């Protein structure tokens, strides 16, 4: 019956017991939402707990995106490119009904179900074909629109981040054609009754990286800003092999500003920034001093804390994230000896999450969580 703020848990100074004693607890009012902008939560078939979280806290989410579908561009029996939609077997209409019921206000559901459709290709050049072949575009649009209508979704998330660099490398002029395809797809979805939404996944880049960035970027966003409803910006997986957080807060800030570009000074800047959902990672990474790295989820961190009892948790003031160290005795088969292996674990805490929510609030963006 007490909020984490009242318990003093949103702090730079935290202990192992602060986490192990509270990680399964939550505030009794599951409808209370402090963050005023839009929130999207991704749910994956390989993490059933995410489905439970989405139902329990449905009112906190404007969008729930189950990662279900693949739009496969592949070589058909005739040798031509065919379009095949897979993943429909994961659809759970009972779960969708529960979310819609749990998120109701005055009888109207507040949470929109927008499954992710991932465009996959068997050959990279098929992205080029998608940008230039109107018949192929119509085939992809029909597959997605028909599925949205059949399943009565509220829209969808489109992910094809690799398409832009492949197309740009093949022929720069085709980049605008790829954006035209996205706009046509958006128009087809918007024409449905009731109107459906399209959210586009985009990889981020800082100002320094932007000149070399061939992924979907701020200039593409400007050309599509009136066509798409939201952009899910992947501000996690900071490019680094060494110890460190997935998303240093300074890097996140730079990526947002670079993506918004000149629109931050436009008269309708708040309306534009509200279309951006800043990525928030609910996972961390465990890096050994020899360079080996693995991503870790909450249960992995709890296991490490229980078995290794590392002390203390350090606050990184430059990255705005906590980390801790632990060591393992590892058998080295090359020397047939046991060596001590030191690890550094960065994982989101209440303080680091709160800092990123504050950044998003200041920039009037929403957030997208990978994953619940």
Identify the three-state secondary structure at position 213: coil
Q: What distance in Å separates the CA atoms of residue 180 and residue 175, rounded to the nearest whole number? A: 9
Using an 8 Å Cβ cutoff, are 322 and 352 in contact? yes
Mean pLDDT, range 323-349, rounded to an integer = 92
Find which of 36-50, 213-227, 241-255 is predicted with most confidence, using mean pLDDT.
36-50
pTM for the structure as a whole: 0.96
Asked whether the beta carbons of 110 and 64 are under 8 A apart, the reply is no
In sequence order, the 6+-apart residues with CB closer than 8 A to the CB of 28 are 1
* DSSP secondary structure string for all residues of 274-315: TTEEEEEES-EEEEETTS-EEEE-HHHHHHHHHHH----PEE
Written as one string, the DSSP assignment of 11-54 is: SS---HHHHHTTTT---S-TT-----S-EEEEE-TT-HHHHHHH
What average pLDDT does the structure give for the chain? 93
Of residues 181 and 2, which shows the higher confidence score?
181
Q: What is the pLDDT of residue 353?
A: 97
Residue 241 has pLDDT above 80, yes or no: no
User: What does DSSP say about strands 337-346 and 197-202: parallel, antiparallel, or unpaired?
Assistant: unpaired
C-alpha of 76 from chain center:
32
> pLDDT confidence of 75, banded at 50, 70, 90?
very high
Across 55-62, average pLDDT: 98
Tell me the average pLDDT across 72-99.
Answer: 95
pLDDT of residue 167: 94
Confidence class for position 266, pLDDT limits 50, 70, 90: low
Taking CA atoms, 162 is separated from 51, 128, 240, in Å, by 28, 11, 20
For position 249, what pLDDT does the model report? 97
In 63-129, beta strands by DSSP E: 63-75, 81-86, 104-105, 108-109, 112-113, 116-121
């Amino acid at each position: 019956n007490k909020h984490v703020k009242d318990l003093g848990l949103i702090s730079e100074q935290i202990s192992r017991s602060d986490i192990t004693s509270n990680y399964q607890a939550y505030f009794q009012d599951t409808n209370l939402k402090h963050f005023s902008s839009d929130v999207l939560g991704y749910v994956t078939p390989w993490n059933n707990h995410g489905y439970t979280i989405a139902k329990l806290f449905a009112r906190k989410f404007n969008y729930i995106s189950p990662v279900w579908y693949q739009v496969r561009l592949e070589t058909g029996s005739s040798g031509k490119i065919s379009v095949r939609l897979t993943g429909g077997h994961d659809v759970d209409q009972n779960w969708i009904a529960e979310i819609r019921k749990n998120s109701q206000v005055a009888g109207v559901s507040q949470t929109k179900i927008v499954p992710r459709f991932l465009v996959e290709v068997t050959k990279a050049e098929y992205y080029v074909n998608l940008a230039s072949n109107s018949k192929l575009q119509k085939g992809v649009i029909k597959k997605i629109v028909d599925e949205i209508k059949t399943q009565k979704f509220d829209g969808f998330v489109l992910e094809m981040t690799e398409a832009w660099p492949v197309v740009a490398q093949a022929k720069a002029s085709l980049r605008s054609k790829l954006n035209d395809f996205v706009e046509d797809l958006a128009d087809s979805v918007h024409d449905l009754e009731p109107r459906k939404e399209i959210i586009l996944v985009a990889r981020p880049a800082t100002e320094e990286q932007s000149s070399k960035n061939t992924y979907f970027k701020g200039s593409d966003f400007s050309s599509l800003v009136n066509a798409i409803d939201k952009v899910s910006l992947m501000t996690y997986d900071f490019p680094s092999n060494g110890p460190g957080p997935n998303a240093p807060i300074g890097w996140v800030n730079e990526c947002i500003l670079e993506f918004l570009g000149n629109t931050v000074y436009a008269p309708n800047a708040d309306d534009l920034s509200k279309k951006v959902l800043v990525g928030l990672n609910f996972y961390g990474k465990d890096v050994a001093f020899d360079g080996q790295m693995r991503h870790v989820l909450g249960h992995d961190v709890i296991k490490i804390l229980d078995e290794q009892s590392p002390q203390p948790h350090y606050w990184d003031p430059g990255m705005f994230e906590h980390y801790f160290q632990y060591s393992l005795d590892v058998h080295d088969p090359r020397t047939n000896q046991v060596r001590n292996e030191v690890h550094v674990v960065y994982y989101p805490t209440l303080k680091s999450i709160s800092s990123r929510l504050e950044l998003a609030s200041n920039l009037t963006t929403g957030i997208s969580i990978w994953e619940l």
